[in-house]
Amino acid sequence: MKEHEIRPQDIFDEYLRLTAIDTQTYFADAPRTGQPCPACGADGEAAFEKNGFAYAQCPNCLTLFVNPRPVRSAFENYYTDSPSTRYWATTFYRQTEPARREKLWKPKAKSIMDILSRFPNIEQLIDIGGGYGTFAEEIRRISNHKVTIVEPSKCLAQVCRAKGFIVVEKFLEDLREADLDEKKRCFVSFELFEHLHDPALFLGSLRGLMSEQDIFIFTTLSSAGADIQVLWENSKSVSPPHHLNFFNPRSIKLLLDSCGFEPLEISTPGKLDVDIVHNNIDSVSDRFWHTFFRITTETDRQDLQEYLASHLLSSHMMVVCARR
pLDDT digits (tens, 9 = 90+) for 5-26: 666 678 888 888 898 899 999 9
The 10s digit of each residue's pLDDT in 282-324 is 999 999 999 999 999 999 999 999 999 999 999 999 999 999 8
Q: What is the pTM assigned to this prediction?
A: 0.91
The confidence score (pLDDT) of residue 104 equals 84
Structural domain harbouring 201: 3-8+98-323
- Please indicate, yes or no, if residue 69 is contained in any of the structural domains: no
User: What is the average pLDDT score of the chain?
Assistant: 93
- Please indicate, yes or no, if residue 30 is contained in any of the structural domains: no
The confidence score (pLDDT) of residue 87 equals 86
- Residues with pLDDT less than 70, the chain: 1-8
- Please indicate, yes or no, if residue 193 is contained in any of the structural domains: yes
Pair 5, 220: CB distance under 8 Å: no
Q: How far apart are CA 228 and CA 48, in angstroms?
A: 13
The 10s digit of each residue's pLDDT in 138-155 is 999 999 999 999 998 887
- Please indicate, yes or no, if residue 71 is contained in any of the structural domains: no
Count of domains in the chain?
1
- Please indicate, yes or no, if residue 65 is contained in any of the structural domains: no
- Please indicate, yes or no, if residue 20 is contained in any of the structural domains: no
Report helix angle 249-258 to 199-209, nearest 10: 50
The confidence score (pLDDT) of residue 86 equals 82
* Residue 254, domain CATH: 3.40.50.150
- Please indicate, yes or no, if residue 13 is contained in any of the structural domains: no
- Please indicate, yes or no, if residue 52 is contained in any of the structural domains: no
